Amino acid sequence: MTDTTVHPEHTGHPEHTDPAVQATAAASGAAATDRFRTKRPAGTAADTRRVDTLATEVISAVHEVIRRHKVTYAEYDALKAWMIQVGLDGEWPLFLDVWIENVVEEVNSEDRQGSKGTIEGPYYVPDAPSFPAEATLPMREDEGGTPLLFQGRVTSVDGTPLAGAKIEMWHADADGFYSQYAPGLPEWNLRGTVVADEQGGFRIHTVEPAPYQIPTDGSCGRLISAAGWHAWRPAHLHLKVSAPGHQLITTQLYFRGGSHVQDDIASAVKPELILAPSPASSGDGNGNEVTYDFVLDRA
């Protein structure tokens, strides 16, 4: 939800038609599925009573929809065919992260006092290169997009600075593509882990990402088309912020006035997550800057 995702048909940048830099839903979906398998090994133990409760209620809810709308066999067979194809396309991570994860995140963070989080999306990659408190994310020499200085502090809920906190950042480029999920991009392009200074401070130099479509050439795209929905996500920065003894925050930050902030297909935008960058006040004055602080709850 990506984030969350690499788009195969980016209508905002029609000049990018070189097959070497075009992503497909099948390729990005397969990569997301493989990444999830390494994150969540098969055979993870589960409480059978909990599985019984959740599975029974989900199935019962589906039964109710069928009864209420008098679903036909033709519609049922279309659903079966679509669900099979989602698996073949490797798009279950995309489907779940775009349409389901936002509610799971909401339920799991409802007691937090600190910063707001939101969905991770399917395209997080762990172990990105590490940098000191002021750093520039890895990028190409001719990286497109408006330069952005993203700065702030990480503290605990009582205001204590969290020295050495880790700020993991990743985001799409100015054409809406994510490294490791689209061909032709350097492995760690626009991905990095910044370690906060003694006062919990950080300054990250990067570029502003673009809004983009989630993949529309696969099964999720067919659902979007059939339902008459749009496929767009607003421009956003992904972050994971962590410190020993504190709860990890996973979030996305959006840009005020940006396209689709009000109608994100992944329903992941929250008012607290909207940035308002201003023209850069230091250096050569090129680009924008924004300050955003993170407050972590104790574990």
Strands 147-156, 212-213: pairing is unpaired
- What CA–CA distances, in Å, run from 187 to 6, 90, 163, 215? 15, 21, 29, 20
Give which of 242, 259, 260 is closest to 251, Cα–Cα.
Answer: 242
Query: In terms of Cα–Cα distance, which of 290, 256, 281, 252 is closest to 152?
Result: 290
Model pLDDT, residue 10:
39
- Which pLDDT tens digit goes with each residue over 80-102? 999 999 999 999 989 999 999 99
Q: Are 289 and 208 in contact (CB under 8 A)?
A: no
Q: What is the predicted pLDDT for the residue at 20? A: 38
**Which pLDDT score, from 0 to 100, does residue 23 have?**
62
| Mean pLDDT across 274-289 | 88
* Mean pLDDT calculated for residue range 162-178: 96
Burial category of 93 from C-beta neighbours within 10 Å (exposed 0-12, middle 13-18, buried 19 and up)? buried
Percent of the chain with pLDDT over 70: 85
Would you give the DSSP letter of residue 246?
Answer: B
Instruction: Give the pLDDT of residue 45.
Output: 72
Instruction: Give the per-residue pLDDT at 6.
Output: 36
- Which has the minimum average pLDDT: 24-33, 66-75, 76-85, 96-105? 24-33
Q: Are residues 97 and 1 in contact, defined by beta-carbon separation less than 8 angstroms? A: yes
> Between 36 and 94, whose confidence is greater?
94
Q: What is the pLDDT of residue 110?
A: 94
Residue 46's pLDDT band (boundaries 50, 70, 90)? confident
* Minimum mean pLDDT range among 25-29, 193-197, 233-237: 25-29
Q: 182 versus 69: which is more confidently predicted?
A: 69
Task: Assess whether pLDDT exceeds 60 at residue 134.
Answer: yes
Q: Is the pLDDT of residue 171 over 50?
A: yes
* DSSP three-state, residue 38: helix
Rounded to a whole number of angstroms, the CA Rg of the chain reads: 20
Q: ∠ CA(209), CA(213), CA(214), 5° rounding?
A: 110
Cα–Cα separations (whole angstroms), residue 228 to 25, 139, 225, 232: 19, 36, 5, 13
Whether residue 9 is predicted with pLDDT greater than 50 in this model: the reply is no
C-alpha closest to that of 89 among 32, 22, 21: 32
pTM of the model: 0.85
Instruction: Name, of 44-58, 136-150, 279-293, the range with top average pLDDT.
Output: 136-150
Query: Which residue has better confidence, 157 or 33?
Result: 157
Q: Which of 90-104, 195-209, 249-263, 279-293 has the lowest mean pLDDT?
A: 279-293
Give the pLDDT confidence score for residue 8 in this predicted structure.
35
C-alpha span between 219 and 83 (Å, rounded): 8
- The alpha carbon dihedral of 61, 62, 64, 69 has a sign of positive
Q: What is the pLDDT of residue 1?
A: 38
Q: What is the pLDDT of residue 119?
A: 96
Q: pLDDT tens digit string along 237-253?
A: 999 999 999 999 999 99
Domains of the chain (ranges; CATH) run 1-299 (2.60.130.10)
The pLDDT assigned to 281 comes to: 86
